[in-house]
Structure 1
Amino acid sequence: MSSPSTAPTRTPVRRLITVVLLVPVLAALALWAFAWPAARTAPRDVPLGVAGPAAATAPIEKRLGEREGAFEIHRYADEAAAREAIQDRTVYGAVVATDRGPKLLTASAASPTVAQLLQRTVAPQAASGGAQIDTADVVTAPANDPRGAALSASVLPLALAGIAAGSMVTALGPRGVRAAVALLGAAALVGVVAAAVAHSWLDVLTGDWWAEAAAFGLSTLAVGGAVAGLGALAGTAGAGIMAAVVMLLGNPFSGAASAPHMLPEPAGAIGQWLPPGAGATLLRSVAYFDGAAATGPALTLAWWAALGLGAVLLGGTLGARAANRADTADEKKLAPVT
């Protein structure tokens, strides 16, 4: 039989061992989530247009096909159609067969990384005999952010804002409608402040101001609602799990720094189903492409927000019923026996 004096020390020792073992696991998970996509960045079925007569584009398509799996070829009748597809965010760029030789169309606003890739790899492949190829940037990145660094840097602050809002609602205890109103108000203010900083001050966004504010706010609400919703149903642990998913998967898998098609699968697809990736795609669409291809990411964020707020309201209802049952039980205990 162990002495009573040694028993209390076991729990701290076990906790110490748990910390020692858990921290390396978390570090390995974080390194995998952030370093793996960065180390495996490469084109994977990047949508690319080829425009012109079939006889002229066939050799170009053949040369592009030598990089198996790198590009998903879309065919267009002429340069005007290819430009329209780029502006609609159907393709990242296009190779146009002209009388003077191939011409490369890019869109640095869609992804500076992909635009540079096309100039570095597609242009030499499209041209024959080492000839020079003309290049035109159809939708240019803003002069104050030519590399897209500011837009990609906005993903983490928005995620942190959403996590903070959801965590504070979980910790401070407002339930039901009050919690939902708090999340909506915080997201709206974040959207206005973020648009004021990125558009009005830094001048790195060039779209409609209110559309950009709405994109910022919806991204924050999607994260905040998800964190608070799971917190309302599963407590602090639930909020922590959702925050970890956003930080360890949503941010590195967002593709904001390059493009979803440049990430290894299934990271690129997963990232677009999570709020940070959908938010970055939506912001790029409204900031540089007049809202083209914004419906998909907007719906993704709306679903996250709706499910999160629904869980918050449900958690509030369940909590109120539990409190009422507890009060009723207390009243019965205190009632005098007749």
Structure 2
Amino acid sequence: MDEVRTAVTPRAALLVFGTLALQLLFIASYVGALHHPEPTDVKVAVVAPGGAADQAAARLRQLPGGPLSPRVLPDEAAARRQLLNRDVDAALLVDPRGSTDTLLVASGQGTAETNALLNVFGQAEQRQQRTLRPVDVAPASPRDAEGLSSFYLVVGWCVGGYLCAAILAVSAGARPANRARALIRLATTALYAIAGGLLGAVITGPVLGALPGSVWALWGLGALTVFAVGAATLAFQTIFGVIGIGVAILVVVIGGNPSAGGAFPLPLLPDFWRAIGPALPVGASTWTARSIAYFRGNAVTGPLLVLSAWALGGIVVSLAAAGLRGGRRRAAEPPAPRPSAAP
């Protein structure tokens, strides 16, 4: 029994139970988010002359299970513009004079969503004894299988961010002794983020040809993503000590990865994961990477603000918590002895 107490301290036992909790949350989050993807309230546009657009939109709105949330647009140009601006996920162009309608899609946002939309619209058109002609206005790269390269790139950036912060904690203590040391850790993380962002963008783009788009834009996104995750992890460690690494894994891996819209885009996820995904670093960065690669850099202001908020929050919390810790240490130190007076 003494050997057990020596080998497994109470602190180690608590950490083991914490690891078990993270494991179960990992399973629940991934399986819960990804086990049964189905479209719900997907934003789509409908274009048709006269009152035919309203009639078609009403039919789509009444589909069983509510897979679509249609809106009527005046013409094809407006539909294409909203699709490229990522305001809608597809657009149905109805031709009342013929029996074939056109569906504008964008496989760059993820082929899983495109296939789901083709299935939903195909069945709806079949009920009306009509045929569907798909047109991909923002196609995924032939080397970007299932449109997942952007997601895997972001996952790599995020892993690098929290591992860098974790290594700094393991090597010199989870909680920095004072504000100056916290600042040094943040600066080190920033340098790592610049290098990691660049190398990730170069490997994914010019080296492998998996993602089109500006390497410079992806570099900037990568640096911000790595730093945001690293700074947040440093903040968690400053507050919670080594347990902060587990908190970072909870936020980034357990909560962030399945809700990011990577394996299955957001419209295919359950409500909970669809709600939290855009507010977490993985989801915000995945959306932005896809916009850079396939949508001319559109609709990235919100996600970039999310990443900036995580980065700024990590800086502020790290410095504030380290400053408080340093102040308490100084207050606990005994006063220095006064020099004795000269005789």
Q: Mean alpha-carbon deviation: is it higher for 92-101 or for 42-51?
A: 92-101
Per-residue deviation, residues 150-178 of structure 1 (Å, max 9, x unmatched): 22222432221111122123333462321
Structure 2 residue runs without a partner (length 5+):
none
- TM-score normalised by the chain length of structure 2: 0.87
Q: 1:57 to 1:128 in 2, by over 3 A?
A: farther
What pairs up with 1:221-240 in 2 under 5 angstroms? 221-240=227-246
What pairs up with 1:151-300 in 2 under 5 angstroms? 151-173=150-172, 175-300=181-306
Residue identity opposite 2:266 in structure 1: P
Q: 1:150 to 1:18 in 2, by over 3 A?
A: same
Asked whether the 8 Å contact 1:96–1:104 carries over to 2, the reply is yes
Q: Mean alpha-carbon deviation: is it higher for 268-277 or for 65-74?
A: 65-74
Give the drift of 1:274.
0.9
How far apart are the structure 1 equivalents of 2:132 and 2:296?
A: 29
Asked whether the 8 Å contact 2:157–2:197 carries over to 1, the reply is no
Asked whether the 8 Å contact 2:169–2:242 carries over to 1, the reply is yes
- TM-score normalised by the chain length of structure 1: 0.88
Residue identity opposite 2:285 in structure 1: G
Q: Percent identity?
A: 27
Per-residue deviation, residues 43-99 of structure 1 (Å, max 9, x unmatched): 111111111224222342233222342111121111111011100000111101124
How far apart are the structure 1 equivalents of 2:243 and 2:39?
A: 38
SS in 2 for 1:43: coil
Per-residue deviation, residues 131-163 of structure 1 (Å, max 9, x unmatched): 322211011111211411322222432221111
Structure 1 residue runs without a partner (length 5+):
1-5
How far apart are the structure 2 equivalents of 1:110 and 1:91?
A: 11
Q: What is the total number of aligned residue pairs between the two structures?
A: 331
Give the drift of 1:295.
0.6
Residue identity opposite 1:110 in structure 2: Q
Q: Residue 310 of structure 2 aligns with which residue?
A: 304
Per-residue deviation, residues 17-46 of structure 1 (Å, max 9, x unmatched): 868866654433221111111113111111
How far apart are the structure 2 equivalents of 1:119 and 1:9?
A: 60
- The answer on 1:331 being equivalent to 2:336 is yes
SS in 2 for 1:258: coil
Asked whether the 8 Å contact 1:95–1:126 carries over to 2, the reply is no
Q: Residue 124 of structure 1 aligns with which residue?
A: 123
Asked whether the 8 Å contact 1:155–1:256 carries over to 2, the reply is no
What pairs up with 1:57-76 in 2 under 5 angstroms? 57-64=53-60, 65-76=62-73
Q: Residue 323 of structure 2 aligns with which residue?
A: 317
How far apart are the structure 2 equivalents of 1:117 and 1:111?
A: 10
Asked whether the 8 Å contact 2:38–2:116 carries over to 1, the reply is no
CA RMSD of aligned residues (A): 2.6
Q: Residue 104 of structure 1 aligns with which residue?
A: 103
Q: Residue 36 of structure 1 aligns with which residue?
A: 32
